[in-house]
Amino acid sequence: MASRPHILVVNGRKVRQPVFVIGAPHSGADLLARALKRSDGFHVTIGQRSVVSVVYAFARSPSIPRGRGEAAATVLRDAFAQAWQVSASACLACSPACRDAGGVNGASTCIEERDIRRYGDGTPDLMYCAEGLVDAFPDARIVQIIRDGRDVVAAMLGDPDTLAWFKPGVVNVESEFPNPFFGIETETDLAAWPRLSLAGKCAMRWRGSVRAMARLRTSMPAERLTTLRYEQVMRQPGAAVKAVSRFMDGELAPINLRDIGRTAVGPQAMQPGAWRRALNAQQLKDIEQVAGADLSRVGYGS
């Protein structure tokens, strides 16, 4: 007999069709998450402590959720049940990114409890919990965004927080294999890792993320998952808003392109084609060696 779906109630509302935004680092997921947070009736969180702790626990140690689907789903539901609570005290503990996106000052809240109709989240690196999200929320709507890997690598190289993951003592590729967080899938990847430059390691992370998103796309119906290209969002934000609104059966607020100035790497690094100015010939060669085939496969060949 099939198990009954779990019903999660937060703020007196049943959580139905929550919307999650995922993507590789510096791929524009935050741009969509901010627009979603401004959308009427949506209570969207970004980087809440309860969610971040689970995201990085699962991302950095994939052996924890592996083979424990229902247990992992329960942990994720509990994390979001805590993150989505609306109260002055709860919102005081919101992440800076979430408060900034919601325009929250002091002890105010980003939404009134009575106005909530849908929930969502755009926490960085949430994509590494995508399979768990599907198990935790079978009716979830997932919006994934993909960006030119060369631009992603250029932005990652300019972000000290991202580069900190590559420091000795932080990297755990020997103890956790395969390692989706670092994009290491095979013994060949693992053997190559110590010799890779920082650009090559960033490229492997990007490569792993787009492969994971491709697998997710083939495993889910179109009514539950959609994929956007960052470059198209930047060129035609209005069209992107209409597409996402149709997909999630709700009105997405306008995408504010000025939000790219709020990223850790600044607006210049988030412009399409920024890699042409930011990367040198050796870095481009390293990226091509690691992710050249995947760049071409997803439409970013030179």
pLDDT of residue 2 exceeding 50, the answer is no
What is the token pair recorded at 257? Answer: 């392109």
End-to-end Cα, the chain, rounded Å: 52
pTM assigned to the model: 0.94
pLDDT of residue 99 exceeding 90, the answer is no
Q: Which of 36-45, 97-106, 169-178, 280-289 has the weakest average pLDDT?
A: 97-106
Across 105-124, average pLDDT: 88
User: Do residues 273 and 151 lie in contact, with contact meaning Cβ atoms separated by under 8 Å?
Assistant: yes
**Model confidence over 238-293: pLDDT tens digits?**
999 999 999 999 999 999 998 887 888 888 999 999 999 999 999 999 999 999 99
Res. 1 pLDDT band, cuts 50 70 90: very low
**Model confidence over 266-279: pLDDT tens digits?**
889 999 999 999 99
Residue 4: per-residue pLDDT: 52
> Would you state the CATH architecture of domain 15-297?
3-Layer(aba) Sandwich (3.40)
Within its chain, how far is the Cα of 162 from the centroid? 14
Residue 276, Cβ density class (10 Å: 0-12 exposed, 13-18 middle, ≥19 buried) = exposed
Percent of the chain with pLDDT over 70: 98
pLDDT of residue 28 exceeding 80, the answer is yes
Residue 3: per-residue pLDDT: 47
CA separation for the pair 275, 12 (Å, rounded): 47
pLDDT of residue 30 exceeding 60, the answer is yes
pLDDT of residue 182 exceeding 70, the answer is yes
What does the mean pLDDT of the chain come to? 92
